[in-house]
Structures are given as C-alpha cells and as structure tokens.
Amino acid sequence: MRWPWLLFAPAALLGASMASGQSVADIRSDAEAFARDMREAALGSVLETGAEEAVPGYQGTDIPASDMADDPDRLTSQGEAQRSGDTYRTVIDPHRPVFDPTTIDLSSARSIAADPDAVLGIGMDLGGGAGSCEPLPGGGGGDSTYLDSCNQGSQVYSEARSCQAPLVVNVTGSGDDRWEYLCHSVFTKFPNNSNRMCNRLRTLDKNNSCELVREDYDYDYQICLNNNNGPGGETLPELCTEPSPMPAMVYQCSEDIGFAGGVKIPGDREVTETVDETQCSPIAGNQDCRMTAEVCTDASPATRIINGVEVTRACWGWQRQFQCDGLRPANDCSELEGRSDCSFHHDECLSEDANGTCNVYDRWFQCRLPGAEAEASQYVCSGDLYCMNGECSSVERQASTEFKDAMVAVQTMGEVRADFDPASLRLFTGEVGKCSRKVFGISNCCSGKGVPLLTPWLCNAEDRAVDERDDKGLCHQVGTYCSDKILGVCVTRKQSYCCFSSKLTRILQEQGRAQLGLSWGTAKDPTCDGFLVAQFQQLDLSRMDFSEVYAEFTEAARLPDEIEASMMIQQKIGQYYTVNGAP
C-alpha cells in the first residue's frame, strides 16, 4: 500500500506549494528532494531483517524441491510424473488456440501507447535515453599482452671436419730360405776346409750367390797360434803353447751348393702395420670434437706386394668424420626489437662462465595481442521519471556498482566447490607444466599466449599441452632455467608454469599469493600448491583485479539480453510516436 501514497504525494505537495506562492522550478526542486528521501527510505527497508518476507511467493531456502538437488534419479521420476498433468497436456494440445504474432504486437503497442511509463521502467525517458547508469563489464574487445623472448650472447655452433688415415705396411727380413756354410780361414785338412772351401765361397760371393754374413770361430777345432801344429794343421798339445779356436767365416747362399756342413735357414720375413694419424691427430686431440663416422676409402686391390711379399688387407685407408663445437657471438633479437607492438621488459641470465660472467641472456619483450572487435557499451541503469504540466524530470538514483563483485563472488563459490581437495584440504591447486626452447634455434615449444607453435612436430606431448592451456589463460609462468649446456653455454632452456582449472582460479592464485607473500618456488621446482582454507579466508577479493574475466561472466550469464530487449521496446515506442504523434 506504500506505492499509491507515493504517487499522490507529489500532487499534494504541488497544491500546497502553489498556495504558498512557490515557483514551478522551486516546486520541482522540492519534489526531487522529497523523492530522493523516499528512495533512501525504500532502500533501507529492503536491507532490514525479515525484508524477504515481503517478496511475493518467497518460501525461504528450505523448500520441498531442494532435496532433489542431490537426487537426479528422483528428479527424473518427478518429471515423468508431470507428463500426465494438465499443464503438460495443455502445452502439447494440438487444438489449443493459435494467435497471430502481428495481432499480439498491435495489442501490445496499444497498451504501451496508453501507459508508456509502465513499459519504460526505471532509468529510461520517452526518447529511450538512460538515467543514471553503471557500465557493465565489456563483453570482449581490447588488446591483451604476452611475453616473448629472444637470445643474446655466446652461441654454440657445430661444424663438420674430416681427415684421411692411410694404412702403412712394412715387411722386413728375407722371404726365401737360405743355406749357411762355415769354412776355416786357415788351411787345414778338416772337412770344412777341404778343397779350399773358403776360396770357393768367396768366388760365389762375387757372383751374388753367396754372401759373407759374419766372421766367427769353430769351437770344435783348435789351432796353435805359435804354428806348432801337426801335419794336418791340428793342434799338438805337447808342442802348442797358444791354443785357440779355429777361425772361421760364415757364408749364406741362396741355394744348396753341396758343400759339407751346410745348414738350411728358413726365411725370416716380418710384417708390421700402422695407421698414419698425421692428418687426424690434431682434430682427434681437440676435446670439443667427436668422431661421428669412419668410412673405408681404399679397399681395392686387397692384396698388394710389399718388399716382395704379398700382403692382403680388407682396407688400406679410411676417412674419418668429426663434429666440432665452438663459440661465437650471436643475437636473434632484431625481429622483436623492430616490432612496434613490442617493448623491452627484462633480461634473464641463462648460463655463466667460470668467473661468473653471463655468457647468454634471455631478453624478454612485452607484446600486444590484438583482441576481438569491441562490443557496444551496455549499462545497468536506475532512476524515476515524473511529469508536471507537460514537463518531465527524473529522480536520479545511484546505479549499483556491485554488479561485477557479485559476478566474481558467484563464480568464485563455484570454483571453490569444484577445486577443493578433501585429501589435502586445499583450494585451487595447480599442476606443474614445462615446455622447452632451443637457444638461438628454430625449435620453440614455448610460443607464448595466443601465438601458435611454429614447429609443433619438434615438440613433445607436454610441450603442446602447456601451450594449449597457456593460450586459454590458465597458466602462470614461474620462470626459465637452462636444461642443457655445451662448452659451459646454455643451448636448451625450459619454461615452467603452474596451470589451473580456470582463468579465475589463476587470477585468485596470482593476486592471492601476492597478498599472502607466498612463493611460486623456483623455475626448476615450481610450487603450485593450493590455498589452505585458513589462507583463503585471509584474502581480500575487493583488492583484486578481475577485469580479465568479467566479459566471460557476463556472456555466460547473458545479462545484456534484458537491456537489449528494453532498448528494442523503447525503439519501437519511439517509432510508434513518430508515426502516430505524441499523446
């Protein structure tokens, strides 16, 4: 019964004011002040204890149907039971009355023309304009940013080198059998000097059939140095004062010449072989080079004559392949430095020399990622309209600024229910994810948010999964570390992330950890633990920036549809008055 009284109150004020001689402007000002007071009183009553009892049809939170929330089977059975009810039969009745939409539109237009204020609602004037309005969060549009990196410093390069390694074979000694003969240097009647054998051997030596190999003694015979020998040249012990072994000469002949006492000497050849490392030693001795292959390059003919001896080998020479590493200065940042949509953000050292000097850097740039086309602005509006003597004024109200906070609160409660781990008693626990990238290389499995992988075939399953979740805004980058070094210089780095179930959860973790002073751990060992319940209770959500997810909430709730419908109605009303004239 409060509203009829409020409608007649301005009329009573008008009569009383005019009787006191007030101007119309003064009357309007007083009416607006009175309306504001009434508005504040009405708002206060809404917040009073028990105000919900005045809501028509409100039955409290303990209603009979609530017990079906956790019993979907019962909900299904109840639905099947309603199929035989009158309401359902009326909906599917093929004989129910049919109305022409055009007729409905005309009848609606007439009712609107009769009482436009009943349709315009709060916050709109006859021309479709808004009163006091609070903008809704954007439903898309605008640019976002992402971090991309390049490298500067020492680059490990690899080059192929080769060398030749021939086989060297030597054969020493003679390969033929020979016959050895001993003859006495002094004439005797002994067999070794019969027919003057030494003289004959000397003759054969001149013909190259025999050769003197040494002078020796024949210890089987003696000679007297004072010439007191017997008639046959033998030593006479009773006369010899200087006995001595018989002087002799040893000859070797290429064939058996038939002399007495000849001894056959088998051939004494020796085969030795070595690989000539002259070309390859400098490369093999370099600790930064490693042999990758050895190929035979000289295999034919397999049998060769060396010093008159046939020698057979499967290979007589090889080519060796080496891969050698080195360092050179490099910088692949020219592309990012030249982009107008990117600006330098910070440097990170990936590896250091023994003296602590950084030898390669990650240079990070912040780049803009173009967003979708921005949607038209939408508002939540409030206000009252009243008219006197054909002049209309609005009683301005302060539109609600708590709409965004309400959306975040509702969504957060849903996340709490979904992400609570009863085993650890933690909320919003994340998962560790890592991706890899070659330093100064084309293989990049950490492309960054919104940027597709350029070399997906070089990325493993974890790399691709992290990239997909990061593109959706679910991951927080913890850091970068070097995972592989050559010559003390980083050649492969990894980026580590904490990835969460939703974008809102990530924002709560990022800004919540900042409030509580919690660490993300290290790049090698990230900490993605959720909040303990006590920690979550300490968070001040009002200090957090949720603008990144407002658009998703409004699109999910479809709240702008009501405003679009109101604006469409106002547009049709305006068109009606344009055609038919104002009342």
| pLDDT for 21 | 60
Q: What is the pLDDT of residue 85?
A: 66
Least confident of 33-42, 189-198, 224-233: 224-233
> Residue 4: its pLDDT value, please?
37
CA angle 560, 564, 566 (to 5 degrees): 115
Which letter does DSSP use for residue 337 in this model?
Answer: H
The yes-or-no verdict on residue 385 having pLDDT over 70 is no
Asked if the model's pLDDT at residue 239 lies above 90, the reply is: no
More confident residue, 108 or 372: 108
In total, how many domains does the chain have? 2
Q: Considering the domain boundaries, does residue 499 fall inside one?
A: yes
The H or E element spanning position 17 is: helix 2-19
Q: Is the pLDDT of residue 410 over 60?
A: yes
pLDDT band, very low/low/confident/very high, at 15 (cuts 50, 70, 90): very low
pLDDT at position 384 is: 47
Whether the per-residue pLDDT at 415 is higher than 80: the answer is no
Span 328-336, average pLDDT: 90
C-alpha 492 chain-centroid distance: 11
pLDDT for the residue numbered 528: 94
Q: Other CB atoms closer than 10 Å to residue 510's CB: what's the count?
A: 15
Distance, in Å, from the CA atom of 470 to the CA atom of 479, rounded to the nearest integer, reads 14
**Residue ranges making up the domain that contains 524:** 406-547
Looking at the predicted structure, is the pLDDT value of residue 196 above 90?
A: no
Q: Write out pLDDT tens, residues 131-166.
A: 455 555 554 555 678 888 889 999 888 889 999 999
| pLDDT at residue 13 tops 50 | no
Listed ranges 202-211, 214-223, 303-312, 569-578; the one with the highest mean pLDDT:
303-312
Task: Please tell me which residue, 296 or 552, carries the higher pLDDT value.
Answer: 296
What confidence tier does 245 reach under pLDDT thresholds 50, 70, 90?
confident
DSSP label of 374: P
pLDDT at 307 > cutoff 60: yes
Region 360-371: mean pLDDT is 85
Task: Specify the pLDDT at position 136.
Answer: 52
Rounded mean pLDDT of 382-394? 49
8 Å CB contact between 167 and 316 = yes
Residue 91 pLDDT = 58
Q: Where does a domain end: 268, 284, 313?
A: 268
What per-residue confidence (pLDDT) applies to 95? 63
The answer to whether 188 and 246 are in contact (CB under 8 A) is: yes
**476 in a structural domain:** yes
8 A C-beta contact, residue 343 and residue 361: no
Q: Is 28 contained in some domain?
A: no
Is residue 502 in some structural domain?
yes
Confidence check: pLDDT of 230 > 90: no
| pLDDT reported for residue 430 | 92
pTM (predicted TM-score): 0.49
Residue 198 forms part of a structural domain: yes
- Work out the pLDDT band at 16, boundaries 50, 70, 90: very low
> Averaged over 225-253, what is the pLDDT?
68
- The whole-angstrom separation of Cα 117 and Cα 384 is 10
pLDDT category at 183 given cuts 50, 70, 90 is confident
The mean of the pLDDT values for the chain is: 75
473 belongs to a structural domain: yes
C-alpha to C-alpha distance for 312 and 18, rounded to whole angstroms: 135
- Percentage of the chain modeled with pLDDT above 90: 21
Residue closest to 316 by CA, chosen among 292, 296, 330, 333: 296
- Mean pLDDT of the region 92-117: 64
Inform me whether the pLDDT recorded for 129 exceeds 60: no
Range with the largest mean pLDDT of 64-68, 413-417, 491-495: 491-495
Question: Greater confidence, 280 or 72?
Answer: 280
- Give the DSSP letter string of 421-454: ETTTTEES--EEEEEEEETTSS-BS---TT---S
Q: Which of 213, 190, 229, 340 is nearest to 268 (CA)?
A: 213
Percent of the chain residues topping a pLDDT of 70 = 64
Question: What's residue 375's pLDDT?
Answer: 55
Say what the pLDDT of residue 6 is.
Answer: 38
The pLDDT, as a whole number, for residue 506 is 92
Does residue 561 belong to any structural domain of this protein?
A: no
What pLDDT is attached to residue 17? 46
Q: State the burial class of residue 474 (Cβ atoms within 10 Å of its Cβ: 0-12, 13-18, 19+).
A: buried
Domain assignment of residue 427, yes or no: yes
Lowest mean pLDDT among 303-312, 348-357, 439-448: 439-448
